């Protein structure tokens, strides 16, 4: 599917008001009076015409309008074709090369690329009505959600920032200044990635929640505690039993058990049930309060990274 800008019948030279963008549902080639943003030009034209005529200036028109007007005056045939897939446009407006992992920040501006890069290829399968969603412990669901690239990018973002909390109960990042069960972590807002994370929750996590915990709707999901945890022997290797202050919690594994670290995992005490064979890019989703008292199991070697959000506190 391609798009055509400015159908012949509504076009008036010199005004933008009449430009119409429409999707062509069939494939073909259309003669158009105006093209913008991105185009391919036959190089022989550049040799053939006098540059005083073939240029980007005419009256008070914008450069793209002037260029097309000059081409029309020269009787150059302008057309749009979707017979070949040329790819798609990237919006460079907010691309910030000063960020570590700038692509991760593109969830709003280049949604399609973001999804291709960062969402797990099996994500849509979780909604297949013929498929039974994995439930390693009672009411603990397990879904593929993000790609390996997402996991390494998020770890890079956090390690480049580097200011891991000290694991004490005093935490100035929190409203009350106190964290009862502290982890060594970095919050999403410390790396300027909170709005992006919330969009990810709304767009990709919320539908999974609605799919398995029927009848609970909260759109957009609210989440004040969004962070990456680092478990490491000699630093903080485990987390004592606790409840999360959330309606539901998501816990995304970011690296590989057995390769990057040994030990680790999450144990749900009421059910005496542990999830230890966690997989990078897979998310655990469980109720936060009352039933799902849990602990982070001891990491004996290497570093374990997880991404946590307490949704709807």
Ligand X SMILES: O=C(O)CCC(=O)C(=O)O
Stretch of 71-79, 104-112, 200-208, 239-247 contacting Fe ion, by CB under 5 A: 239-247
Quick check: 185 binds Fe ion (CB under 5 A)?
no
For residues 276 and 299, what is the distance between their CA atoms, to the nearest angstrom? 11
Quick check: 244 binds Fe ion (CB under 5 A)?
yes
Which lies closer to ligand X via its Cβ, residue 58 or residue 230?
230
Binding track over 25-64 against ligand X, x by CB under 6 A: ----------------------------------------
Q: Residue 68: phi, psi to the nearest 5?
A: -65, -40
Q: How many residues bind ligand X (CB under 6 A)?
A: 10
For residues 264 and 280, what is the distance between their CA atoms, to the nearest angstrom? 13
Please name the residues in contact with 7: beta carbons below 8 A apart, sequence gap of 6 or more. Answer: 20, 22, 32
Quick check: 308 binds ligand X (CB under 6 A)?
yes
Quick check: 302 binds ligand X (CB under 6 A)?
no
Cis peptide before 3 (omega within 30 of 0): no
Quick check: 299 binds ligand X (CB under 6 A)?
no
Question: Is-contact 151 280, C-beta < 8 A?
Answer: yes
Which residues lie across from 229 on neighbouring strands? 185, 306
Q: How many residues bind Fe ion (CB under 5 A)?
A: 1
Q: Nearest approach, Cβ of 98 to ligand X (angstroms)?
A: 30
Which lies closer to ligand X via its Cβ, residue 203 or residue 267?
267
Question: Is-contact 78 35, C-beta < 8 A?
Answer: yes
Please name the residues in contact with 57: beta carbons below 8 A apart, sequence gap of 6 or more. Answer: 63, 66
Which lies closer to Fe ion via its Cβ, residue 101 or residue 244?
244
Give the interface with Fe ion as residue ranges (CB under 5 A): 244
């Amino acid at each position: 599917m391609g798009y055509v800008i400015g159908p012949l019948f509504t076009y008036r030279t010199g005004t933008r008001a009449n430009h119409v963008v429409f999707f062509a549902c069939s494939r073909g080639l259309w003669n158009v009076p105006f093209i913008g943003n991105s185009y391919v030009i036959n190089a022989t034209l550049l040799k053939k015409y006098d540059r005083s005529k073939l240029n980007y200036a005419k009256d008070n028109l914008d450069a793209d309008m002037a260029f097309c007007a000059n081409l029309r005056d020269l009787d150059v045939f302008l057309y749009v074709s979707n017979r070949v897939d040329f790819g798609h446009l990237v919006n460079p407006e907010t691309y910030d090369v000063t960020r570590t992992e700038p692509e991760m920040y593109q969830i709003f501006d280049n949604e399609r690329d973001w999804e291709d890069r960062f969402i797990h290829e099996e994500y849509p399968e979780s909604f297949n009505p013929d498929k039974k969603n994995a439930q390693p412990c009672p009411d603990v669901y397990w879904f593929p959600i993000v790609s390996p690239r997402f996991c390494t990018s998020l770890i890079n973002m956090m390690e480049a920032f580097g200011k891991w909390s000290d694991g004490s109960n005093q935490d100035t990042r929190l409203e009350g200044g106190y964290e009862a069960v502290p982890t060594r972590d970095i919050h999403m807002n410390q790396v300027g990635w909170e709005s992006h994370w919330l969009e990810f929750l709304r767009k990709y996590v919320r539908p999974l929640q609605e799919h398995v915990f029927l009848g609970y709707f909260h759109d957009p999901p609210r989440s004040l505690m969004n962070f990456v945890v680092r478990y490491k022997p000699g630093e903080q290797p485990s987390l004592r039993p606790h409840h999360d202050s959330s309606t539901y919690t998501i816990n995304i594994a970011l690296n590989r058990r057995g390769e990057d670290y040994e030990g680790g995992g999450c144990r749900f005490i009421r059910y005496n049930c542990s999830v230890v064979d966690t997989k990078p890019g897979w998310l655990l989703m469980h109720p936060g309060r009352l039933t799902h008292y849990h602990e982070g199991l001891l990491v004996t070697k290497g570093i374990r990274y997880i991404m946590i959000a307490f949704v709807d506190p």
